């Protein structure tokens, strides 16, 4: 468990990040409405669509980040912030400084990444094979 002072520091950080995100949300939505009004020209449609896609993707990523911030704030509220979801050990302070929304400790995260790498091994070895044969050619 981290002390109250540390928890409050992270709470402030998350609240700042959250309000910055919500502000950019609002800003993007206004911009978004504006461009849909201007979509009368067919030539502009594809670029407008592209822009729309890009914004949607960006918004999805921000929505995910926002969700993580909310989860972290809930944890601070509940007094479980900084505790690994997997092994219930404290997450390294240095890790939280770099990645405040981390929900796994370093060793659990490494284990998770190793599992992901192993499950992607089939695809990976195939692409390495292609690269190797290209190098020979």
* Interface contacts to Zn ion, rule CB under 5 A: 84, 86-87, 105, 108
Six-digit token string for 32 = 């978004």
d(CA 76, CA 86): 17
Interacting residues of 123 by C-beta distance below 8 A, sequence separation 6+: none
Nearer CB in complex with Zn ion: 76/83: 83
DSSP-based three-state secondary structure for 81: coil
- Bridge partners (DSSP) listed for residue 83: 90
Shortest spacing between CB 88 and Zn ion, in angstroms = 7
Nearer CB in complex with Zn ion: 79/129: 79
Shortest spacing between CB 85 and Zn ion, in angstroms = 7
Shortest spacing between CB 123 and Zn ion, in angstroms = 28
DSSP-based three-state secondary structure for 100: coil
The separation between the first and the last C-alpha atoms of the chain, rounded to the nearest angstrom, is: 57
d(CA 81, CA 101): 9
Nearer CB in complex with Zn ion: 61/115: 115
Shortest spacing between CB 93 and Zn ion, in angstroms = 14
Nearer CB in complex with Zn ion: 18/109: 109
């Amino acid at each position: 468990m981290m002390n109250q002072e540390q928890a409050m520091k992270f709470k402030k950080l998350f609240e700042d990040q959250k309000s910055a995100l919500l502000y950019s949300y609002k800003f993007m939505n206004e911009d978004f409405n504006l461009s849909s009004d201007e979509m009368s020209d067919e030539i502009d449609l594809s670029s407008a669509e592209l822009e729309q896609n890009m914004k949607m993707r960006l918004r999805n990523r921000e929505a995910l980040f926002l969700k993580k911030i909310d989860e972290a704030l809930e944890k601070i509220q509940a007094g479980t912030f900084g505790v690994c979801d997997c092994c219930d050990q404290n997450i390294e302070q240095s890790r939280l400084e770099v990645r405040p929304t981390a929900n796994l400790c370093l060793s659990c995260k490494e284990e998770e990444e190793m599992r992901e790498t192993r499950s992607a091994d089939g695809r990976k070895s195939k692409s390495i094979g292609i690269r190797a044969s290209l190098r020979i050619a």
